[in-house]
Amino acid sequence: MNINFDNGEIKSENRITVITGNNGSGKTRLINTIKKNTGNNADYIVLDSDSHSHLSKTELEKFVSDIKEQSKTKQIIIASLRNELIEIADKVITLKDEKGKD
C-alpha cells in the first residue's frame, strides 16, 4: 500500500487492507493518521478495532461479507487485533471468487 499524505491519496493493489499487530504496536495511530490526512474522501472506508472487536463469530462473518461488498467501490482499510478477521475474510473472498462472484 502506498500512502501519499500530500494529496490525501492511498493506492493499493488490494481493495481490502487489514492492519494487524499487538496492543501498542501503532495500528490506531496509523489509522488516525490516515483518517486525518485523507479527510472525508468517499473512496475510502477506514475502520479501527472498535468497529468489530465486540462482534460474535457469526456477526464477524457478516461484517467481513459486508466489507467485501463495499470493497467493490471503495478502498477498505481495517485495523484489527483479531486474527480470525483475516481468516474469515480469506474464506469469504475465496468462496466468492470460486463461484465467479467478485
Contact by Cβ (8 Å): 58, 80: no
Total structural domains in the chain?
Answer: 1
Interval 36-86: pLDDT, tens: 777 666 677 777 777 888 888 888 888 888 888 888 888 888 888 777 777
Mean of pLDDT values over 21-41: 79
Domain range for 26 is 2-98
Mean pLDDT for the chain overall: 75
Measured CA distances, 14 to 33, 54, 59 (Å): 20, 26, 24
Given the C-alpha cell 462473518, which residue does it identify?
A: 61
Amino acid of residue 91: K
Q: Is 71 helix (H, G, I), strand (E, B) or coil?
A: coil
Prediction pTM value: 0.67
* Higher per-residue confidence, 102 vs 81: 81
**8 Å CB contact between 17 and 78:** yes
Q: What is the pLDDT of residue 31?
A: 81
Work out the widest C-alpha separation in the chain, in whole angstroms: 40
